Amino acid sequence: MIDKKEYDILVQEIMECTKCELHKTRRNPVPGEGSLDPKIMFIGEAPGGREDETGRPFVGAAGKLLTMLIESIGLSREDVYITNVVKCRPPGNRDPSQMEIYTCLPYLRRQINIIRPRLIVTLGRHAARVIMDLAGLKFTSITKQHGTVNVATISGIKVIIIPTYHPAAALYNPSLKQMLIDDFETIKKYIEARPSDIKRGPLDDFIK
Ligand code: URA
């Protein structure tokens, strides 16, 4: 069982966070949402305009595509947990700075520690770089590493990391969209082939 109280405290801290400049321009922080015993934890880069308005991750155009992809592998948004590396919108949807990422990262670490996902799917090269770094794995490029299945340990928790493209990049690029669809097929096959791998066991199972 996850510690729901600890999760709620974390969300509250994110809602009140003023640790970086982004709090001055955000409308709403976007902590993340979904199952707290998820089949997959999806990690994007940072909230965009619609997410900033609503306080929910991936609810704009890219979110529609993500939702479609999740449903295409027989899951719903309620079966997964969706969050971002950075919890507040960078103005004008610019990339978050290294400092913003570094300042926000403890929140993501704590989310991973509390939720203990078995399978993390990163969306886009920025999230892939940050998560592969956290796991002590080498990130070369999203072109080379999308759709690969990486066994890793983050804060003593064993996880599988599958990087894929960002749905926003695929919106107007049919060949990227096809690769994203193919990567989701890989994710589906992985889940079907290794159902016990994605079921959370007692905490001891995850400590190396
Ligand atoms: N892009 C992201 O990386 N995250 C969101 O929540 C929305 C768009």
Question: Would you say the CB of residue 31 lies under 6 angstroms from ligand 1?
Answer: no
The per-residue pLDDT for 1 is 74
The angle formed by the CA atoms of residues 90, 95 and 101, to the nearest 5 degrees, is 80
Question: Which amino acid would we find at residue 152?
Answer: A
Question: Would you say the CB of residue 117 lies under 6 angstroms from ligand 1?
Answer: no
The per-residue pLDDT for 208 is 30
Give the distance (Å) from ligand 1 centre to CA of residue 160: 21
Task: Give the chain's domains with CATH numbers.
Answer: 4-195 (3.40.470.10)
Taking the CA atoms of residue 58, residue 63, residue 69 and residue 72 in that order, the dihedral angle to the nearest 10 degrees is 100
Q: Would the CA dihedral through 104, 6, 17, 25 be positive or negative? A: positive
- What ligand 1 atom has the least distance to the C-alpha of 51? 6
- What ligand 1 atom has the least distance to the C-alpha of 124? 3
Q: Would the CA dihedral through 107, 118, 133, 47 be positive or negative? A: negative
Average pLDDT across each block of 10 residues of the chain; the chain has 208 residues. List them in order. Answer: 92 98 98 97 98 98 98 98 98 97 98 97 98 97 98 94 98 97 97 73 38
Give the distance (Å) from ligand 1 centre to CA of residue 117: 19
Prediction pTM value: 0.94
The per-residue pLDDT for 194 is 74
The per-residue pLDDT for 164 is 98
| Residue 133 neighbours by CB distance under 10 Å | 13
Question: Would you say the CB of residue 47 lies under 6 angstroms from ligand 1?
Answer: yes
- What ligand 1 atom has the least distance to the C-alpha of 84? 4
Give the distance (Å) from ligand 1 centre to CA of residue 83: 8
Question: Would you say the CB of residue 168 lies under 6 angstroms from ligand 1?
Answer: yes
Pocket test for ligand 1, best of 22, 81, 84 (most atoms within 8 A of CB): 84
